[in-house]
Amino acid sequence: MSNPVKIEPLSWQQETTGFLRLIDQTRLPTELVEIDCRSVEQVWTAIKRLSVRGAPAIGVAAAYGVCIGAAETTRQSVDQAKQQAHAAADYLATSRPTAVNLFWALDRMRQVIDRDGFDQTDAFLEALLAEARAIHQQDRDTCHAIGRNGAPLIAAAKNVLTHCNAGALATAEYGTALAVIYSAHDSGQSLHVFADETRPLLQGARLTAWELQQHGVPVTVICDSMAACVMKEGRVDAVIVGADRIAANGDACNKIGTYGLSVLAKHHNIPFYVAAPCSTFDLTLASGDLIPIEQRADYEISEAFGKRTVPEGVDVYNPAFDVAPAELITAIITDRGVIDPVDEANVRRVVQDAS
């Protein structure tokens, strides 16, 4: 079996006055380039323009962004550092609206900011960095747990279809949907993946195909519109996707196109799995209809990658996410076990136990 390259999309460099280093995912697959974020604005921009993307990775990046904000002015009092940290958290919360992991991570950072008893600014900055590192490490552990929990569900599968990128690049490492695939592959199962290219920004073609190739997992990229056809041909044994936010009733929001896939999977009698950490659940929302859906810029559809593909002056519509209803989801694979999405009491019990 191959020895896969470990992909970590982000890392913290140096100590409390350090910086965030990211793989710039906008440059993949042709260039593997890192960028350094030394200001809160740079972290905000990196999240907004998808240099760092994927729900868990956005949360980790924002946590480190708060550390950068708190330390931005030197020789400051604890109160000043706290004010700056709060301002950084508020600002980073405006970067993208849908992935709840961003708000979950910022809330954890706010709890540290609001903690009493810091005599020295250094002690406060150290506590912030320790919390960001803990969030980062928790995501690593969570992803491996999702992989272990999900692999038995696809033990008999030969071909799995996935959408967008819910892999190592979207998390601290290993991924969510792709963690399930990696876990099966790493235990010796022969598995092939169909990766939807994922219009308009091609996270499937650019990122999922790249990281599966790095890991030695056979992958075929298809246009999003081909998913129905390959399902009808009997070439898909399971669909596995990630999620950006899951409501209390089990509705799961993920990259635009996920809803369509859940309908197609139902029609073709193919299991449809969502893989996500407990931090992706938002139990304050009763249903997926209440999840805020990010609307992104027109040029991503009309002129992505520098090539105009829609006539000037023609309207486009660019919601970045949609919602797969709970009744079309076979199971949600979490770090704390596999959940039946329509059993709300159990969803609440499992997820609340985790917090």
Ligand X SMILES: CSC[C@@H](O)[C@@H](O)C(=O)COP(=O)(O)O
Residue nearest ligand X, Cβ-based: 242
Longest dimension (CA), the chain: 66
Which region holds residue 45: left if phi is over 0, alpha if psi is between -120 and 50, else beta?
A: alpha
Contact 27, 53 (CB under 8 A): no
Q: For residues 125 and 135, which CB has a smaller minimum distance to ligand X in the complex?
A: 135
On the question of a cis peptide bond just before residue 277, with omega within 30 degrees of 0, the verdict is: no
Q: How far is the CB of 70 from ligand X (least distance, A)?
A: 25
115 is in an annotated binding site: no
* Cα 154 from Cα 176, distance rounded (Å): 14
* Cα 340 from Cα 141, distance rounded (Å): 22
Q: Does 54 bind ligand X (CB under 6 A)?
A: yes
Q: For residues 125 and 178, which CB has a smaller minimum distance to ligand X in the complex?
A: 178
Among 244, 282, 322, 335, the active-site one is 244
- Chain positions 224 to 253 lying near ligand X, rule: CB under 6 A, are 242-244
- Which residues share a beta bridge with 331? 273
Q: Does 23 bind ligand X (CB under 6 A)?
A: no
Strand ranges (E), the chain: 10-13, 19-23, 34-37, 159-162, 192-196, 219-222, 238-241, 245-247, 252-255, 272-275, 281-282, 321-324, 331-334, 337-339
Interface residue with ligand X, options 56, 65, 69, 257 (CB under 6 A): 56
Active site residue 244: yes
Q: Does 170 bind ligand X (CB under 6 A)?
A: yes
Q: For residues 129 and 341, which CB has a smaller minimum distance to ligand X in the complex?
A: 341
Rounded to a whole number, what is the distance in angstroms from the first to the last CA of the chain? Answer: 37
148 is in an annotated binding site: no
Binding letters toward ligand X, positions 251-290, x by CB under 6 A: ---xx-----------------------------------
Q: For residues 138 and 254, which CB has a smaller minimum distance to ligand X in the complex?
A: 254
* Positions marked active-site: 244
**Interface residue list for ligand X (CB under 6 A):** 50, 53-56, 99, 164, 166, 170-171, 175-176, 203, 242-244, 254-255, 320
Binding region for substrate: 53-55, 96, 203, 254-255
